[in-house]
Amino acid sequence: MLFSSISFLYYFLPAVLGLYFITPAKYKNLVLLLASLFFYFYGEPLYSILMVFSIISAYLHGLWINSAQTQKLKKAAFISSIFFSTGALLFFKYHIFFVNNFNSIFDTSIVPLNVLLPIGISFYTFQILSYTIDLYRGKVNIQKSLINFATYVSMFPQLIAGPIVRYSTIEESLDKRTHSISDVAWGINRFIIGLAKKVIIANSLGEIGVLFNSADEKSVLFFWVAAIAFTLQIYFDFSGYSDMAIGLGRIFGFRFLENFNYPYIAKSVTEFWRRWHISLGTWFRDYIYIPMGGNRVNLLKWGRNILVVWFLTGFWHGAEWNFVIWGLYFALFLVIEKYFLKNLFAKLPSAIGHFYLLLTVVISFVIFNADGMGEAILNLKGMFGLTGAPFTNAETIYYLKSYAFIFILAAIGATPLLKNISQKLTVYASAEKIFNVIKPAVHVVLLLLVTGYLIDGSFNPFIYFRF
């Protein structure tokens, strides 16, 4: 079930909210758990069993870690928990990749099992791992309630596409949380903003990719238009989903951390990754990079740490070599920035650093979005005029004019411009009163527009469901 669907917006969500708020406090987690299990079962009937198994396994391993009398037994419980948690992820997400590459290397003909990727497995596995690792380190307390733990892992607002919510973030809220009209109103507004970003902007930009793939004659300009469109689409798609998750979490009394902070205003790759998919970046930082020594090691080991983390970052996104290359691509730029470009950029106008970042990111998402490295190389050649295509043609100009407004809207929306303007105007009491009236009206209009888009049956996939 998609957040951006009529069934979710007008049937599932109102029913869950109504039931949740009339239920006594001690049973609210149970209501949220049952709603989340139904939500996942609706889209993944068979793999719901896998998620339930993962939850029970992690819960029992947590009890084992907590009750272990010696460090040796505690470590054995911890290793076992990691094995079971990552084992399911490795099998379902990477089984075919490993078998196909084994066949290529050793010239064998092993037939991989026909298994599909369970939606959200990368996200809920990392949430389970954050609990297990922090419990082993003594940073969180044992969760003795299976219902509370299962609610944490399966909570539908962030279950299938993040953000990756750590147990430590909502540990207290699972046992006791407050609800208020202001939090519900804030959550609804944030949800609608995310919904509009997804349906109105991301979906419209996604149509350009469909048109590009079906075009008989592609021009150099069309290659760039498609690349920039996807770069904007993936931001509005994923940040829109995160906005919706954060908004829904607030409605139910949870405060999820931000997952995006206007990454396209960054002036370096280093800054970009502090702003993009923050929950994933900090997860790898705290559970992989720092335990390996981080940057407090010699140059050779630091290079190893960067290589490992960004290999895993790319591989986490998908079981294809272009995702691995995508991760290592960013690792290369991080190393270059640290040792060669850092001092240079400090002396140059910020516009140059910003242009460098945007060019680097657009190229990266061409690699990311391709169906294998062959397609990625072909598209990159097309962007730089190496395929013999004309610079532009009538079809490109037509589509560019047709989607000009969406491009302008996306470009403005990817910056904090509107946010900054509204904050400056609300300094004045009269302007604040006007905004208090206008904002609800704008959100109602956005919801009506989104509903119209959805009824019309427009392009509506979530990109990060693939991961």
Residues identified as active-site: 317
Q: Closest Cα partner for 245 from 201, 454, 237, 129?
A: 237
Give the whole-angstrom CA distance, residue 396 versus residue 389. Answer: 12
Q: Closest Cα partner for 198 from 421, 444, 410?
A: 410
Structure tokens belonging to residue 124: 């809920």
- The C-alpha angle 307, 312, 315, rounded to 5 degrees, equals 125
Residue 369's CB is within 10 A of a number of other CB atoms, namely 20
- The angle that helices 321-336 and 373-383 make with each other, rounded to 10 degrees, is 50
Residue 349 Cα distances to 264, 354, 356, 395, 419, angstroms: 17, 9, 11, 37, 24
Give the whole-angstrom CA distance, residue 441 versus residue 435. Answer: 10
Q: Closest Cα partner for 361 from 237, 263, 449?
A: 263
What residues have CB less than 8 Å from 201, skipping those under 6 apart? 232, 233, 236, 240, 406, 409, 410, 413
